[in-house]
Amino acid sequence: MTGLKAFSIIVSILAVLAGAVAPIAAGPGCGPNDPTCGGGPRCVVSQPAGNTLKGRVSVEFLPQGGTLFDTDVTLALERSGGQAFFRVNVGLKDLSAITQASLACDVIDVAGGTILRTFGFSPTTQRLVITTESITDLDGFGSICTAVNCASGSDTGRKSSLANIRLYVIGK
């Protein structure tokens, strides 16, 4: 584990324990970007022109049976020297049927307005998007399911994954 990953984990844990990160929970039902609900990662664009939020994302997966996992995401984002932490629960996800982009879009669906307001943007006129290159260094794994070894459905322990993330703020 690199020093940056260890630092990100420690800061995320301390922020949650200190109550500095207010949890943002998904509403009932599945999100519009959940492939099991017929959606797609619509927050993915090819070449966004706008402001950038960069940071780290920590994803915690708690098995709920088979390939279903309760999914908690902690984001540490920064822009122009300002940094903020966000904790988001995106609910149950079938990790054998979801992509990194779909999960990132689910996080944006749940917490995008809060993230935009925190950094001084307007959720009524702006939105967050990602590109296919927005998620990097995912613990060296190509897919979330590979990262948590959920294909067999026999793994019963909590799993986690870290990655770098880049969100773009564009007009609606």
Contact, 107 vs 54, CB < 8 A? no
pLDDT, residue 62, reads: 82
The total domain count for the chain is 1
Residues with Cβ within 8 Å of 70's Cβ and at least 6 positions away in sequence, in order, are: 61, 62, 64, 89, 91, 92
The rounded distance, in Å, linking the Cα atoms of 165 and 70 is 21
- The residue count of the chain comes to 172
pLDDT, residue 27, reads: 41
pLDDT, residue 15, reads: 45
pTM: 0.72
Domain that holds residue 69: 3-171
Report the chain (172 residues): mean pLDDT per 10 consecutive residues: 49 44 46 41 80 92 79 93 93 77 87 94 92 79 50 58 90 86
> What 8-state DSSP symbol labels residue 139?
T
pLDDT, residue 30, reads: 40
pLDDT, residue 166, reads: 94
